[in-house]
Amino acid sequence: MSRPSVKAPTPGFAKTFVWPALLIFAVPAASLWFFNHVEASFDADALQGIIQGVNADDGLSPEEKTAAIQFFTENPVSKLEASGAVDLDLPAQLRFYYATFRWMIRLSLWSLAAGLIVLALVGACIPISMRSPPAQYLCLSAGWHVLRIYGAFQAIVTGVLLIALSFWVTAFWFEAYFVKLIIIAGVLALAGIGAVIAGIFKRTPIVNRVAGKPAVSAANAPLFQRLREICDKVGTTPPDNVILGIDNNFFVTELPVTVNDQTYEGRTLFVSLSLLKQLHDEEADAILAHEMAHFSGNDTLYSKKIAPLLNKYAHYLGSLRQGGAALPVFYFMNFFRALFELSLSRLSREREFRADRIAREATSAPAVAGALTRVIAYAAYRRKVEQQLFEEEVALEEANVAERIEQGFPEFAASFLAQPGAGEVELAHPFDTHPPLAQRLEAIGLRLEMPETRSLLALAGNGRWFERIADAAELERAQWDEFEEQFRNYHEQSLPYRYLPATEEERAVVVRHFPAVTFAGKEGALTIDFEKLSFAKWSEPLLFAEVRQFQLTDGGELQISFARGEKGKQKTAIKLKKFPNQQEIVDALNRYWGRYQSAVAYRRQLAEGAANEAVKSDA
């Protein structure tokens, strides 16, 4: 769901994207140096042999010997072999070696050159894409195709070079080769190539699921009439679909949306019933004018065109990230995706400023400012309420999110703009990014510190728009009931990962989700429950609290390091190969051990938080 977001400190762009992207040049650069070095070494050995042969040839005069030695010194055997100008009568194996060096050098050079060309071409697309939505779409489309082809080429070349290096590095420097190393390189190469193929041909359908209910025009004549009036002011046509929900935002899109397994095409407006209840009628007008302005500027049209490209790009990156030798390609592609995000964010924010300006012209600056601040404050308060409920340490009999919001929001909203950092809050959105609140207010002629701005949320909204919608209360209550039930269930499922049971009630919750499981084996039964392992060969169970490490060997032996009493560190093992369901045991152990570790980490975090609060109180 949408929620307000504040920018958090992030690693530098260079560290996150640029330096990893340069890994694309690592393998070809290393290969270029290495195979040039090996070729030069072979040339030096060949030259020594030629010099010895020339000096030993009594049929040549001193002048002819000098000329021959000078010729072969100036023209290395590798170059003569490649040109075919001189028949050197080299052994077949040596000719094969030279051909290998030659092609590895060529592939390395082609790879480096292609990387630099793509870097320049796609890099030039970024500033061009910032000029307008059509330019952005064309640049993103062209960039995607260029990068996809380059990614396939680079993955194949990197794989070939890795295989060649895996043999020749050890063969040249240690006069030996290792089959396992070659096999590993081959597996990485095949994985990389497979990842590229999977990424290119993988179908990437876009499914935009929206929780809500379509508004029927016949039953909501006032709503659709007011939308038509607003569209006339803005200069656009009304939406084809209006979805009524309880999300903490309003948005429009021309992408297909799926509501209760039914897909709706065309222009869609999502209206938050819960927000309408909190807004003054002129604020609701302003926010709807803002959304309709996105239609008037073809913002949603270009979002519809760009979304499939971004979706394909994301799936391609996902495939490359899992793909062995394709990992450098992933970092290179991810670097350009980050650059394109700069363009996407810039134009997206410009669209938001434009929509705010149009909404101000259709209504008023205070109405737009009130709508912005009230929606952002509502999202912040809803998040706070949900967080407080989720942090409850006992199962919730009811998750009364809606009731808590309605009771506490007016007071929260009245003081929201006085909170530190309020001006930096951005409203999250399913399709676009938004500028910080302070910038949006300044763009419509208001400043955060102005008294009239600070007083915008002093009075609670009248909710008149909510009252105009047929069965609004019933629709909203039904959706809140469904949401709160899901919230309560999710909260209850999280409790076992928080408890190191101290009471019978807590123990019952954990056991309900993590009941003891027993596996029969040739050496006796193994039982795993939420706090320990019990094995027939052991005199007593092994508590998770005693375990330091689990390790599964290639031979199917589960080795366990633990610490107990005065004996300190100890080890034991279970031969899982003596159980018919080895994988089930491993899966169960991962789940139960993971639950225990999560609970330990959670309790430690709570203790540290309490200690920090105590220090603050003392200070």
pLDDT score at 428:
60
pLDDT band at 4 (very low <50, low <70, confident <90, very high): very low
Nearest-10 Cα torsion for 74, 80, 82, 88 = -150
The pLDDT tens digits of the residues spanning 454-497 come to: 888 888 888 888 988 888 999 999 999 999 999 999 999 999 99
Handedness of CA 340, 346, 350, 351 (dihedral sign): positive
The pLDDT tens digits of the residues spanning 552-585 come to: 998 889 999 999 887 788 999 999 999 998 999 9
The pLDDT tens digits of the residues spanning 275-294 come to: 999 999 999 999 999 999 99
pLDDT score at 178:
86
**Residue 54 CA: distances (Å) to CA of 48, 58, 66, 81, 337:** 10, 8, 9, 19, 60
Cβ(251)–Cβ(309) under 8 Å?
no
Nearest-10 Cα torsion for 138, 140, 143, 145 = -80
pLDDT at residue 63 is higher than 80: yes
pLDDT band at 299 (very low <50, low <70, confident <90, very high): confident
Instruction: Return the closest-CA partner of residue 285 out of 371, 413, 378, 410.
Output: 371
**Residue 302 CA: distances (Å) to CA of 133, 186, 232:** 7, 43, 22
Specify the length of the chain in residues. 619
Average pLDDT over residues 357-368: 94
Lowest-pLDDT choice from 102-111, 284-293, 318-327, 443-452? 318-327
Average pLDDT over residues 145-168: 89
Outline where DSSP puts E strands in 93-239.
Answer: 208-209, 213-214
Retrieve residue 175's tokens.
């006069």
pLDDT at residue 147 is higher than 70: yes
Cβ(239)–Cβ(268) under 8 Å?
yes
Average pLDDT over residues 212-237: 89
In angstroms, the CA 406 to CA 378 distance is: 10
pLDDT score at 75:
87
pLDDT score at 1:
33
In angstroms, the CA 35 to CA 105 distance is: 6
Average pLDDT over residues 417-430: 74
pLDDT at residue 500 is higher than 90: yes
pLDDT at residue 6 is higher than 50: no
In angstroms, the CA 23 to CA 195 distance is: 18
pLDDT band at 431 (very low <50, low <70, confident <90, very high): low
The pLDDT tens digits of the residues spanning 516-537 come to: 999 999 989 999 999 999 999 9
Q: Mean pLDDT, the chain, as a whole number? A: 87
Retrieve residue 426's tokens.
């951005």
pLDDT score at 430:
53
Nearest-10 Cα torsion for 222, 223, 225, 231 = 160
pLDDT at residue 3 is higher than 50: no
pLDDT at residue 619 is higher than 70: no
pLDDT band at 111 (very low <50, low <70, confident <90, very high): very high
Lowest-pLDDT choice from 228-232, 290-294, 367-371, 435-439? 435-439
Q: Does domain 504-618 have CATH number 2.30.29.30?
A: yes
In angstroms, the CA 421 to CA 437 distance is: 10
Ordered by start, the domain boundaries in the chain are 13-201, 213-460, 504-618
Average pLDDT over residues 379-399: 92
pLDDT score at 110:
96
Cβ(550)–Cβ(593) under 8 Å?
yes
Outline where DSSP puts E strands in 493-584.
Answer: 517-521, 524-528, 532-535, 542-543, 547-552, 557-564, 568-575
pLDDT score at 518:
95
pLDDT score at 318:
81
pLDDT score at 427:
65
Alpha-helical regions (H) of 26-132? 26-56, 62-74, 77-83, 92-129
**Residue 215 CA: distances (Å) to CA of 238, 274, 480, 508:** 14, 15, 17, 45
pLDDT band at 429 (very low <50, low <70, confident <90, very high): low
Average pLDDT over residues 440-451: 87
Backbone torsion region of residue 87, taken as left when φ is above 0, otherwise alpha when ψ lies between -120 and 50, otherwise beta? beta
**Number of C-beta neighbours around residue 523 at 10 A:** 12
pLDDT at residue 311 is higher than 80: yes
